[in-house]
Structure 1
């Protein structure tokens, strides 16, 4: 039998394995919370569970005659079938569908100015959103009635739906003003004489729930917007009779209602009419009863939740508008500056300066890259520019160094060191390099014969301290590979053209970059302070006053991750490392002079478009999903396809610049739906790691060795790409 301690250890290990990591849990919770807020918003805006059907008129032979011929106050409580008229020279103004943030305050101002009171039949959706207006109504002596939560025609609803509409309406009222009410007005109701066999059973049921139904006997028809004079005429009772007057303080433009109300109240007060609440006019106890205990707290919690949803989604809508504008502006800027860059470097007679013909040192840091190092080195030996190749073996355990040594190729050297990470390996290579121009590449990358020559020509300009090459995805035949191919051509290389024109290149890719030895020495060489040493060294070059440019014809072929897990690991490291580099060089923002250009231009652009904007960009997809489900569906689809069309135009132009086949762009729509979401979550996880002070370890990416130069022969089609350098945690 296994020892007890072993079983306990196994149990603890199982518990640890079952625990959901924070990096997955927190993004999931944020997504669930965001969707919950959107669902709540859709609910209180009558986009979810709303029923806008209206029942056609029916026969009225089942409605008691005393109801059809009676007054507008109908009491069916405890089996009664009573109706009541309003006493002469008393008017009960009623306002439906509110409260509205624009028109209800104006209505209340008019009533207060004339010392008149009214009954407001509120909907739960509006009361939940504007509880302060409900409280003002109560504070100023007005009466509140229910008008359901979502404003459906109750004659088309089940009893359970009727109960739900009433209870939710009361919940909103309790949260807004701490009261309940016994007054109710059905949506789409009219005069008592218009009651029919469909609406009467609902009225009876409403009474059985303890409510008095209030219809009207004077309709201002303000919802038609017939003009101020017509509204006053419609609302004025004949021969001094009392009446319940129907008006609206929400549901559209109520400017005519407000203007008519002022003259109507003033004029009829002069004629001896009194404007009061319903219970005051009938001299019966108030319809309001205070709410306390659990019901009160439930109402308040509901209102707080709605307010949080309203405020959050309002901020998100603003954020969506800002992000949309920024994304479109960025696309426009990329296109414009890419055109200018292409014209500049491709015009006849363009030159960086004197031709660079002197030999170059090529550094190849290698860690356990036995599968691909041979073809990588062979691609360098085939270079049409004089070079020396230095392979820095960073403590490999798979014979990487021995493979290179056994090749016995001219101008190829191996430098061995204990495993210390890629920055240390590159610094070791610089120390052993013979020449002043130094090319750095990954040990799993393949160069074309012209790559080194094209990469070093910008050094003809003495102000250039570093050059970024054109990294390309070789394994683009798989779906994930095709998506990364689009990203490299459009998202990386089109960006580099833009940043080149702005003189604020943020990153020299580790797969293909070149440096002046003197520039490297001045900035202290490669640093292991961050997990993005390529971005770190690039920003350091800018801050030291060097230009960093892009050489589009210096192509290097690399194998992109072929599984979601490997892709996640790579992009997680990139995102987190970029954040570290931005934070490390944050003082660049306040630096002045030519060396401060990156801080003034590049740092804000990189922070905005590589860190902040992508974090908010999922709003586009969240609102797309929301619009597809709850509407407006057609406008939502058109907007999404509009954004996709802009992206497709940029991608097509980028592919044209790089002379790539357009067929891969067929997967662009699917990339926007699936691939982009993965990148969002990766960035969010990077933010969480940064904010929580977590440490990120380097992950080795397993390669298949299937990428080589186009048309190259050999196993798997050419040189392969192996795992990234095994680097230790920062700190």
Structure 2
């Protein structure tokens, strides 16, 4: 069930984009135009007749109708267009003229209000197919589909059905040939009157206003069907020509009527009622939703692009500045820290890892005491530690109460003012504790974030998380360090002043992201939180998608809880207000909004590959990936990591985006429904070992290493 709603939302987005492609003539476009063919099968009466052809009666001979003298039928093809159709309608209204608009289904579904206006102002509307293909290339089923879909759009837009039809790329009656005539006959059997033209203004060529007027003017007072366009390009010349053409022809005794008015026939419009009307409205509503929804998605994609560029740009610039600061020869936090440190190791069922974790601490080159807080383990975790008989290693047992309670219990048992916290599946290098506590030489520093690294990076999932830790977490922390808005001290490696912990009330159980919660609390209390990149901890990342999902679900939901808990800092003064107005928005943008919108990058990649423009889409997507690769390579260089793992970066970016989308949607659902998550235990293998550490057999004690500590 956890994947159902996110999957439903993704399917909905895909359906919405497909509908948009459908109504914008992007799914099945066909722009072929057939060259002239033989006219041997076309009746002479049709070729020599008028522009209106009625072949509806299968038992009778097709009729060719001519427009009476001094009557002009202005026809406009390819609309309605949101720019030009209103201007054409304004000119027609100004001079009391009526016209016939041959609309396409694609444009009608996008701009139904213009079709409603045409009908309301007494104009006639005809069918010009749905997406403007040359019907002589199409099958009978495709022709029927083109007509029925346009009628569906008309029903939804204006509540009518029209019996008028004009084929795309049509011309005069004498241009009818053996390819177009069968189409005209077939369409007649479907109940349509075909309207061609007898005077072509050629306004689509934009020959100039005077030329358009000259082309549109019939000779000797003859009646005519005049072809013009209100869509398909710049129609400013058409609008200007109408301003002169209409009053000039009216002065010459012409009237401007619709097709049926000029022929003295009943209206071509038939009201649509019942289920057909509601189907049309539903279609128009769906198209409107798809268009607006896609516009929102495009805006969201712009936000994502901006956030990606902003984030990586900030990370590159500030990380470079951070590295220069750290590497300055004379840079020091203050007096060198040599005093002993308490190391807290909360553990719940860590049988596979705990021996390596404790043994790595025994190799520390800084004086420490180790306090293992067994949180009600059922696998003998505490027994393993006690059987190691290591000096300065203490075991505290408690009933299962969760990680924050275990850490608070450890703080209560700690002997020293500086407290290091780590996970039970993490191993430290010998220099880790020493490097981690040096920033406390600055009395303003209340907490220090270490450099958490993935130890099990040989699998594909492990390699992806390795990239994420180096590129996403550690590069971020360098940026946040300089901005003095460090959002999270990782649970795998962090250090605190005990006095600072006591001032903020210790580790809180209010959220599932106790590390983010305590970090924000430190900022709000006025303490500096910094990053010690040389203090490295090796942790075992989840090795399956299921475990990774569980971990990120807890992190995401916990981060939301922490932001909500500390929301008042946004309006407060002092250090709390500074973090609230700078740190909280950045956390929300980079950890919640950007990952939630990130799948849009891949959705629009798919959309662009299918509907185009393909080349621009691929270039844009590769450009984003290249920017990410540059940032990743720089992060790997700063962390002195091998670049070989970046081979999997493209796949990691695509799949992680979808995973984080699912995680965040599920987190939002949990938050909005008031659900609760517990501190979840991930399955560990104990395979992680710090580089250069003394190997320890998994599942056995390390009691042989009993050298005094401190």
Normalized against structure 2, the TM-score is what?
Answer: 0.97
Whole-angstrom CA distance in 1 between matches of 2:610 and 2:268: 40
Name the counterpart of 1:46.
Answer: 25
Q: CA deviation at 1:346?
A: 1.1
1:103-139 per-position Cα deviation (integer Å, ceiling 9, x unaligned):
1101101111111110000001111111110000001
Name the counterpart of 1:513.
Answer: 494
**1:279-678 pair list within 5 angstroms:** 279-678=260-659
1:584-620 per-position Cα deviation (integer Å, ceiling 9, x unaligned):
1111111111332110100001011111221111111
> In the alignment, which of 654, 671, 689 is matched to residue 708 of structure 1?
689
- Report the more deviating stretch, 275-284 or 461-470: 275-284
Whole-angstrom CA distance in 1 between matches of 2:531 and 2:47: 85
Are the structure 2 counterparts of residues 680 and 109 from structure 1 closer, same or farther at C-alpha, using a change threshold of 3 Å? same
Instruction: Tell me if the contact between 1:135 and 1:176 (Cα under 8 Å) persists in the aligned partners.
Output: yes
Whole-angstrom CA distance in 2 between matches of 1:650 and 1:565: 28
> In the alignment, which of 43, 52, 55 is matched to residue 73 of structure 1?
52
Instruction: Tell me if the contact between 2:343 and 2:419 (Cα under 8 Å) persists in the aligned partners.
Output: yes
1:160-184 per-position Cα deviation (integer Å, ceiling 9, x unaligned):
1111111111111011111111100
Q: CA deviation at 1:238?
A: 1.7
Instruction: Tell me if the contact between 1:218 and 1:237 (Cα under 8 Å) persists in the aligned partners.
Output: yes
Instruction: Tell me if the contact between 1:203 and 1:213 (Cα under 8 Å) persists in the aligned partners.
Output: yes
> Which sections of structure 2, spanning at least 5 residues, go unmatched?
702-710
Name the counterpart of 1:254.
Answer: 235
Q: CA deviation at 1:715?
A: 5.2
**1:67-216 pair list within 5 angstroms:** 67-79=46-58, 80-216=61-197
Whole-angstrom CA distance in 2 between matches of 1:482 and 1:717: 23
Whole-angstrom CA distance in 1 between matches of 2:698 and 2:211: 85
Are the structure 2 counterparts of residues 77 and 58 from structure 1 closer, same or farther at C-alpha, using a change threshold of 3 Å? same
Instruction: Tell me if the contact between 2:352 and 2:699 (Cα under 8 Å) persists in the aligned partners.
Output: no
Whole-angstrom CA distance in 1 between matches of 2:172 and 2:312: 59
Give secondary structure in 1 for the equivalent of 2:430: coil
Give secondary structure in 1 for the equivalent of 2:81: coil
- Report the more deviating stretch, 343-352 or 390-399: 390-399
Name the counterpart of 2:39.
Answer: 60
Whole-angstrom CA distance in 1 between matches of 2:150 and 2:70: 32
Q: CA deviation at 1:293?
A: 1.2
Whole-angstrom CA distance in 1 between matches of 2:647 and 2:277: 57
Instruction: Tell me if the contact between 1:707 and 1:716 (Cα under 8 Å) persists in the aligned partners.
Output: no
Q: CA deviation at 1:189?
A: 0.6
Instruction: Tell me if the contact between 1:128 and 1:176 (Cα under 8 Å) persists in the aligned partners.
Output: yes
Give secondary structure in 1 for the equivalent of 2:225: strand
Q: CA deviation at 1:696?
A: 1.8
Whole-angstrom CA distance in 1 between matches of 2:79 and 2:189: 26
Instruction: Tell me if the contact between 1:709 and 1:718 (Cα under 8 Å) persists in the aligned partners.
Output: no
Instruction: Tell me if the contact between 2:360 and 2:693 (Cα under 8 Å) persists in the aligned partners.
Output: no
Name the counterpart of 1:27.
Answer: 6
Give secondary structure in 1 for the equivalent of 2:537: strand
Q: CA deviation at 1:505?
A: 0.6
Instruction: Tell me if the contact between 1:468 and 1:551 (Cα under 8 Å) persists in the aligned partners.
Output: yes
Whole-angstrom CA distance in 2 between matches of 1:716 and 1:702: 18
1:535-568 per-position Cα deviation (integer Å, ceiling 9, x unaligned):
0100110111111111100100011111111111
Whole-angstrom CA distance in 1 between matches of 2:512 and 2:137: 63
Whole-angstrom CA distance in 2 between matches of 1:237 and 1:288: 27
Whole-angstrom CA distance in 1 between matches of 2:666 and 2:381: 34
Instruction: Tell me if the contact between 1:372 and 1:719 (Cα under 8 Å) persists in the aligned partners.
Output: no
Whole-angstrom CA distance in 2 between matches of 1:692 and 1:418: 30
Whole-angstrom CA distance in 1 between matches of 2:603 and 2:159: 35
Question: Cα RMSD (Å) of the superposition?
Answer: 1.4
Whole-angstrom CA distance in 2 between matches of 1:312 and 1:406: 63
Runs of 4+ in 1 over 4 A off after TM superposition: 715-720
Instruction: Tell me if the contact between 1:706 and 1:718 (Cα under 8 Å) persists in the aligned partners.
Output: no
Give secondary structure in 1 for the equivalent of 2:487: coil
Relative contact order (C-alpha < 8 Å, sep 6+): which is higher? 2
Whole-angstrom CA distance in 2 between matches of 1:409 and 1:427: 23
- Report the more deviating stretch, 240-249 or 195-204: 240-249
Q: CA deviation at 1:713?
A: 4.9
Name the counterpart of 2:218.
Answer: 237
> Which sections of structure 1, spanning at least 5 residues, go unmatched?
1-20, 721-731
Whole-angstrom CA distance in 2 between matches of 1:715 and 1:678: 35
Whole-angstrom CA distance in 1 between matches of 2:342 and 2:220: 106
Give secondary structure in 2 for the equivalent of 1:353: coil
Q: CA deviation at 1:284?
A: 1.3
Instruction: Tell me if the contact between 2:74 and 2:227 (Cα under 8 Å) persists in the aligned partners.
Output: yes
Whole-angstrom CA distance in 1 between matches of 2:669 and 2:508: 24
Q: CA deviation at 1:673?
A: 2.1
Give secondary structure in 1 for the equivalent of 2:57: helix
- Report the more deviating stretch, 331-340 or 192-201: 331-340
Q: CA deviation at 1:716?
A: 6.9
Whole-angstrom CA distance in 2 between matches of 1:340 and 1:229: 67
Whole-angstrom CA distance in 2 between matches of 1:718 and 1:268: 100
1:640-661 per-position Cα deviation (integer Å, ceiling 9, x unaligned):
1010001001101100110000
Q: CA deviation at 1:275?
A: 1.1
Q: CA deviation at 1:93?
A: 0.6
Whole-angstrom CA distance in 2 between matches of 1:143 and 1:718: 85
Q: CA deviation at 1:417?
A: 1.5
Q: CA deviation at 1:435?
A: 0.7
Give secondary structure in 2 for the equivalent of 1:97: strand
Name the counterpart of 1:695.
Answer: 676
Instruction: Tell me if the contact between 1:103 and 1:250 (Cα under 8 Å) persists in the aligned partners.
Output: yes
Whole-angstrom CA distance in 2 between matches of 1:405 and 1:185: 90
Whole-angstrom CA distance in 2 between matches of 1:375 and 1:706: 9
Give secondary structure in 1 for the equivalent of 2:535: strand
Instruction: Tell me if the contact between 2:98 and 2:123 (Cα under 8 Å) persists in the aligned partners.
Output: yes
Q: CA deviation at 1:692?
A: 1.6
Whole-angstrom CA distance in 1 between matches of 2:574 and 2:399: 42
Name the counterpart of 2:704.
Answer: none
Whole-angstrom CA distance in 2 between matches of 1:585 and 1:517: 22
Whole-angstrom CA distance in 1 between matches of 2:683 and 2:693: 22
Name the counterpart of 2:705.
Answer: none
Give secondary structure in 1 for the equivalent of 2:25: coil
Matched, 1:266 2:254: no
Whole-angstrom CA distance in 2 between matches of 1:245 and 1:192: 13
1:212-252 per-position Cα deviation (integer Å, ceiling 9, x unaligned):
00010111111111222221121111222211111111111
1:254-307 per-position Cα deviation (integer Å, ceiling 9, x unaligned):
111111121111222222221111111111111111111111111111111111
Whole-angstrom CA distance in 1 between matches of 2:88 and 2:698: 78
